[in-house]
Structure 1
């Protein structure tokens, strides 16, 4: 039965250079039918979509964008492992996406892919731009030279997508003619030995096994030794082999281009160059980038305010309805005081998360993000970082985990390690709920020079984390030694109008991941918190219950409500979670925090975004069942019994934001750092240093403001 089912599923891998429209084609084919996971045995995220036709399923894998199959970055290693079948089931077909405006660069990777012997089809994307530049491609001649089907597309405008689908459904892929004869580069007898040992079919597959032997961590020590011994026996200098192969490929590419490409002169003004005169200006470019970030944060506050208030009020109403409708008891309390406030603490921030990811997708789709990489390279170098480090760092503003994974595109080991270690200091989307709730409580919603003060406060937190990130990188540059040279290779694609469908898809998928992943953690912790906050040592709880009963009997009607609040607070203090909070309160009191905030700090080490859910749960427990105050209103009214002041005053709020800006409070990030560095040394040092620095910075902040 399993064999019958497996025959109904065909696997297709999409591969191409960065910025050739590969992801556009993938999104057009799969739409919402996508899922994100990991390649087996590899930490790189893979995106797999499905396409169905007449009862047959096609699994489409979106491979990382890469310029070649040389072992210089993990993206290239992933492409090699997938296409060779080492990381998962080998794809049945390959959809090779080329840039019609830059065939020379695209054909380097395409030639290597075709030489693997897997059935392939070529997609010449951006045909509209090629036409505007006066580039004409003889697709029939290209078909004759390569022997594989060819489709011209403009994925942004959905042109040619029906042709791609028809080709997939009819499985019109072809095994290409040999693009490069390797017999003059790799000894034929060595190639045969490798092919026989690993049951390979082409010389280039054998060549790939040999050159990746030292880089592929999944190659067993025995196999690695055998391959390197063969290289030594045949006097093969692997770097020299790569140079020889590249030189030979470009010779073949130039011969092919002479046959298939003709160019006509065009006098059309280059709009991209005109825009770049501003965007890439050595001074104005940075001011434009900073201004753009300010506008984004302004929009996050302005556009998300109404849906956030609606969600906040809605969950408060749901808690009140549950309390009034369901029978009184433990289950009622769990729902109204634990689960609903916990879920509300996640859902309320969907508008900001969606907007943040939407803006990042917008910048990527217009072509501006590549300019940021190039522009920031000169800034990053003095700090021991790489121009490509800006992509992980900006990604870290959404989430540190994909940001750290994005560092694989950095080939220099030292720069990659520094990027991994400092990326968690970028203010990620998990910190955004903390910033927004605290800024909303303490910063007035006033306008200064046409800009919302709350937006300025939020931007200030992001600038603070960015400054700390660069300073930390500078310190690490002095500690981590390396003689490895680095360089920047990036595309500057033409400016395009963003594809709103792609932006909306990104917002949907990222928000979904945030809700599902963060929601599971927050919901679990909310339930545990409710239990720990509702129960405590029986002797203490019985004494409080007896004391409350006596006090209530003797109380007047006007005193009952006051006594309810008093004993609810006392019960919480003597609960298990209250005991933990009270234990650490002397340590955190210099930062302006009480024991309730201490509980939120502890739970936040599972995930930062748990803070709001924890606070929502803690301040809901034991409250008035008829009171439907929102999270913001509850926090705003909380008073410190020691000082008589608001708990969440300006000094405490900014101290908390600074602490959350610098502390390593994400178990998932620690796990990713371990998987990326293959050592527990770095995540442990990272956690200790970041937490100690966060405590010191929060202490200084509180003492100055208070």
Structure 2
């Protein structure tokens, strides 16, 4: 039969994503299934005789009977041959060290008469676990289904899998359980809970009988077992486990600052040269000003932080690849229970460090509605990657670049402190929501501890490419639009207002460079103050002055409610409008020179800078996140409450910070 579309199916932690990466490489796309927030990963690889074979990576599930949104998506696709995502062939990926549990899902799919190939993954662990598997016998006992051994992390067996897909030919179908023998394709109805339990029990009994004939277990390698146990005793220790986790976080943020500094400086100078080059290459006019003062600085304001974002994603991917992240989930469960959070809440909270949107989607694994709702409401308080550009810009402005205790960078410590502040705020908010939302349901953390592994760098690379591409593309579109709008609002004002304000500035009689430069700076400042965006900022200034901000910061606060990272591009645009790029002053240098005429102090000092970081740490400034919360809760009540409480918390926190440090 000609295979044009395959689906990868398997339990969580079976290595299904590694198989997907090996098959598709960088030729993959992440979206959502229509009407739900479940990730839809698709890709393709070349067919045997040309063309492409589409690959759908279905969410990891334990059973075809749906108890969560992930399982329901898989059930809806595979129960109905007429579904648009129904595959020609299912590739079921199983963990060779957990065959009994993993084969349950395979037998359910097999009895739905779905053409299937069985991938027995992680065969490299057989020797260490003291297991030997007769794969030919297993294939025979499962009705002749093709069985492919693989080590997906290293790509071993991938060619054999492709050949099995190319040459697949469905032979006679033998039901795994006899009661399915007369069924047409698909499920007529969902079994009741008691029928599900009986069905599952019968399947496990038969799976156990089959495995007795083809699996032999010897004594596992004591060295491997001892090493694993010794590591877990340390990293999951009730005291040392937390200390190790904090130390790892400290190393990550120190590395982000140290390793990203050179490429960031390079990018900053490149975009300065681009603005200068635009001025030189194009004729004077509105279009040239738009590109040189609006678009180029706006895009540069976000691209400059890509190195830090890449490093953050890289460290998270490495922690997941090694298996350490599961240990973090385990030890954090003890900490989170008193705050009214489900043990599974730690996954969204940690995922929130990358982005709140997929983190909130991850709450669908939480069964109890109260626990899930509390997690949704507090997850945006954890500092996501969109806040990272804001933090790093402000830290560079107000925090000295010096060592502490001889080996720690003060700027890296402050960055770590902002992330810890977000987690602390999330826990405190959870306590309040625990008191507000009442439920008698109790939840438990059930999870697997994957084996420790050396990171597979190809998987890390693919993860980095996908996440960075999504971040830059999604942020870039918003930034491009806002940069253009902001430039227009900053360049024009009410009729004749800018002209009158500029004409009131005395033209210097002295033609010396200093006098000329001073005059030009006054003109630029007056033009911006009297523009549409300047007037809006002036209206907002009385409300934000107690926080230590001026009207220019107010403009950035307004624009960044579309997305937090827009703050940086907004500041880049504001401080570029009317600028003479020949002086080679970067955005950071221009911001350091700003003085608040009301106070006579630098606009960006330690008090105002930390106040602004605290505001961004707490404020809900992401329209996409609010939209996702609405979709997950099926109501505008909760996202609006989230917007109000987080904005209030941001204002109060920033007010206290500024006044304590003044």
Alignment TM class, shorter chain as reference: over 0.9
Deviations 1:20-63 (A, max 9, x none): 11111100110010111111222212111111123221111111
Aligned to 1:110: 106
CA distance, structure 1, for counterparts of residue 502 and residue 400 of structure 2 = 42
Q: For 1:161-560, list aligned pairs within 5 A.
A: 161-172=158-169, 177-182=174-179, 201-202=185-186, 205-206=187-188, 209-211=189-191, 238-269=192-223, 270=225, 271-449=227-405, 450-547=407-504, 551-552=506-507, 556-557=511-512, 558-560=514-516
CA distance, structure 2, for counterparts of residue 659 and residue 599 of structure 1? 14
Cα offsets for 1:566-608 (capped at 9, x unmatched): 1211111111101110011000000001000000000010000
CA contact (8 A) 1:319 1:628 kept: no
Report if aligned partners of 1:407, 1:419 keep a CA contact under 8 Å in 2. Answer: yes
**How far did residue 182 of structure 1 move?**
4.2
C-alpha distance 704-124 of structure 1, shift in aligned 2 (>3 A): same
CA deviation digits over 1:142-200, x for unaligned, max 9? 111222110001111211011011112223566753223447xxxx9xxx9xx8xxxx5
1:145 to 2:125 alignment? no
User: Match for 1:74 among 54, 69, 73?
Assistant: 69
Report the equivalent of 1:45.
39
**8 Å Cα contact 1:339/1:526 also seen in 2:** yes
Moved more, 615-624 or 539-548: 539-548
Structure 1 Cα separation of the partners of residues 289 and 142 of structure 2: 69
How many angstroms apart in 2 are the aligned matches of 1:366 and 1:360? 10
Query: In structure 2, what is the Cα distance between the partners aligned to 1:73 and 1:408?
Result: 7
TM-score, normalised with respect to structure 2: 0.96
User: Contact 1:120/1:175 (CA < 8 Å) preserved in 2?
Assistant: no
Q: Distance in 1 between matches of 2:534 and 2:626?
A: 28
How far apart in 2 are the matches of 1:677 and 1:512?
28
Q: Determine the C-alpha separation between the residues in 2 that align with 1:613 and 1:474.
A: 36
- Distance in 2 between residues matched to 1:20 and 1:87, nearest whole Å: 26
Question: 1: CA distance between counterparts of 2:583 and 2:465?
Answer: 34
Secondary structure of the structure 2 residue equivalent to 1:167 = helix
8 A Cα contact 2:127 2:220, kept in partner: no
Shift of 1:554: 5.1
Asked whether 1:92 is paired with 2:88, we answer yes
Cα distance in 1 for partners of 2:488, 2:647 equals 28
Indicate conservation of the 8 Å contact 1:596/1:618, yes or no: yes
**Counterpart residue number, 1:639:** 595
Structure 2 CA distance for aligned equivalents of residues 167 and 627 of structure 1: 64
Q: Distance in 1 between matches of 2:248 and 2:260?
A: 18
Partner of 2:90, secondary structure, is: strand
Contact 2:65 2:190 in 1 (8 A): no
Classify the secondary structure of the residue corresponding to 1:102.
helix
Residue number in structure 1 paired with 2:8: 14
Q: Is the 8 A contact 1:603 1:611 kept in 2?
A: yes
Match of 2:622 among 666, 677, 684: 666
Contact 2:3 2:166 in 1 (8 A): no
> In 1, distance between residues paired with 2:179 and 2:434?
41
Supply the distance in 2 between the matched residues of 1:58 and 1:320 (Cα, whole angstroms).
Answer: 48
Deviations 1:247-300 (A, max 9, x none): 222212211221221112245321211211111112111111111111111111
Distance 1:445 1:311 in 2: 20
Query: 2:324 and 2:171 mapped to 1: Cα distance?
Result: 36
Asked whether the equivalents of residues 149 and 173 of structure 1 are also in contact (C-alpha less than 8 Å), the reply is no
Q: Secondary structure at the match of 1:143?
A: helix
In the alignment, what sits opposite 2:60? Answer: 65
Contact 2:276 2:581 in 1 (8 A): yes
Post-superposition CA distance 1:655-674 (Å, at most 9, x none) = 00000000000000000001
Structure 1 CA distance for aligned equivalents of residues 339 and 172 of structure 2: 47
Structure 1: runs of 5+ lacking an equivalent: 1-6, 212-237
Report the counterpart of residue 522 of structure 2 in structure 1. Answer: 566
Worse-matched range after superposition: 491-500 or 112-121: 112-121
2:190 match: secondary structure: helix
Separation (CA, whole Å) in 2 of partners of 1:351 and 1:616: 18
| Aligned with 1:133 (options 129, 132, 138) | 129
Does 1:577 pair with 2:577? no
Structure 1: distance between partners of 2:482 and 2:367? 39
Question: CA separation in 2, counterparts of 1:283 and 1:240?
Answer: 43
Q: State whether structure 2 residue 23 is matched by structure 1 residue 29.
A: yes
Which residue of 72, 92, 101 maps to 2:97? 101
Among 623, 627, 639, the alignment partner of 2:583 is 627
Q: Is the 8 A contact 1:40 1:88 kept in 2?
A: no
Question: Is the Cα–Cα contact under 8 Å of residues 146 and 176 in structure 1 kept in the other structure?
Answer: no
After TM superposition, the structure 1 stretch with the greater mean CA deviation from structure 2, 264-273 or 250-259, is: 264-273
Q: Deviations over 1:58-101 (max 9, x none)?
A: 11111111222233221111221222348742111111000001
Of 112, 119, 130, the match for 2:115 = 119
Shift of 1:553: 7.6
Q: Note the alpha carbon deviations across 1:202-255, whole angstroms, 9 max, x for none.
A: 5xx23xx425xxxxxxxxxxxxxxxxxxxxxxxxxx222222222222212211
What is the SS of the residue equivalent to 2:212? helix
Query: Number of aligned pairs?
Result: 655
1-side partners of 2:211 and 2:52: how far apart? Answer: 37
- Seen in structure 2, the aligned counterparts of structure 1 residues 453 and 573 have a Cα distance that, compared at 3 Å, is same
1:545, distance to aligned residue in structure 2 (A)? 4.6
Contact 1:141–1:260 (Cα < 8 Å) also in 2: yes
Give the superposition deviation at 1:635: 1.3
Task: State the SS of the aligned residue for 1:472.
Answer: helix
The answer (yes or no) to whether the contact 2:508–2:519 under 8 Å persists in 1 is: no
Which segments of 5 or more consecutive residues in structure 2 lack a partner in the other structure?
none
CA distance in 2, matches of 1:609, 1:322: 25
Measure, in 2, the Cα distance between the counterparts of 1:88 and 1:641.
63
CA drift at 1:366? 0.5
| Residue-by-residue CA offset, 1:436-466 (whole Å, 9 max, x unaligned) | 0111111111111211111110010011100
CA distance in 2, matches of 1:381, 1:176: 49
Give the whole-Å Cα distance in 1 for the aligned partners of 2:171 and 2:261. Answer: 54
Name the structure 2 match of 1:230: none
Rounded to whole Å, the distance in 2 between the matches of 1:26 and 1:125 is 12
Cα 1:448/1:129, change in 2 over 3 Å: same
Write the distance in 1 (CA, Å) between the matches of 2:171 and 2:268.
Answer: 56
